[in-house]
Amino acid sequence: MELYVTRQESYSRGELILRTLFGLLYIAIPHLFLLLFIGLWSSILTFISWWTILFTGRYPQSFFEFQVKMLRWNLGVSASLYNLVDGYPPFGLNAENDKIKLEIPYPESLSRGTLLLKSFLGIFYCILPHAFCLYFRMIWSAILGFIAFWAVLFTGNYPEGWHAFNVGTIRWSYRLNLYIGYFMSDEYPPFSGK
């Protein structure tokens, strides 16, 4: 999986304040309203895909492409709300956003044994250890995001290391979701944002 959010040379202070004060109203509510319904469809596709993988060892390619497009849209909204990029995130599954990149290679085959292992024991060997580590990482990301708000407000610059750390947190959570939530990968997610 490749997930990148472009760090800009300079950030708009006006957009930063607008997103912080009113982002819930003009970004989160319209996008998340639509993503709620798309997410419901995504859940249905995930359920069907689980059975398809169990019997055929393959993820239906059209379902896979839909999931990637939905995740890409969600990434654009998240990057905007976390102040990682300026600009309004585009609507739609086919919308292009040049500030983010999410590429997930289609697996030609998936392991049925790994699928069953993830489904029945995934909470113990995957979710709990990753959730424990991600919990503390997300707290640190929130602190860095808060401090970065002030850095952007006064300097117009998002510190590079902080940006990379916060994007890494998103990358880690996406890898975890691909493995245990969407069953789109057999590769155990690393304990890293890199």
pLDDT digits (tens, 9 = 90+) for 80-99: 999 999 999 999 999 889 99
Has residue 38 been placed in a domain?
yes
In this structure, is residue 191 part of a structural domain?
no
Residue 7 belongs to some domain of the structure: yes
Integer angstrom CA distances of residue 95 from 6, 11, 70, 99: 17, 23, 10, 12
Predicted confidence at residue 192, as pLDDT, reads 85
Whether residue 194 lies inside any domain: the answer is: no
Contacts of 186 (CB under 8 A, 6+ apart): 107, 110, 111, 114, 179
Say if pTM beats, i.e. exceeds, 0.85: yes
* Host domain of residue 135: 2-181
Q: Which tokens sit at 92?
A: 């739609």
Q: How many domains are contained in the chain?
A: 1
Average pLDDT of the residues in 118-123:
94
Which two tokens mark 137? Answer: 């990482």
Residue-wise pLDDT for 3-56, tens only, equals: 999 999 999 999 999 999 999 999 999 999 999 999 999 999 999 999 999 999
Task: Kindly state the tokens that stand for 24.
Answer: 């819930």
C-alpha distances (whole Å) from 182 to each of 38, 77, 99, 132, 191 are 14, 19, 24, 20, 18
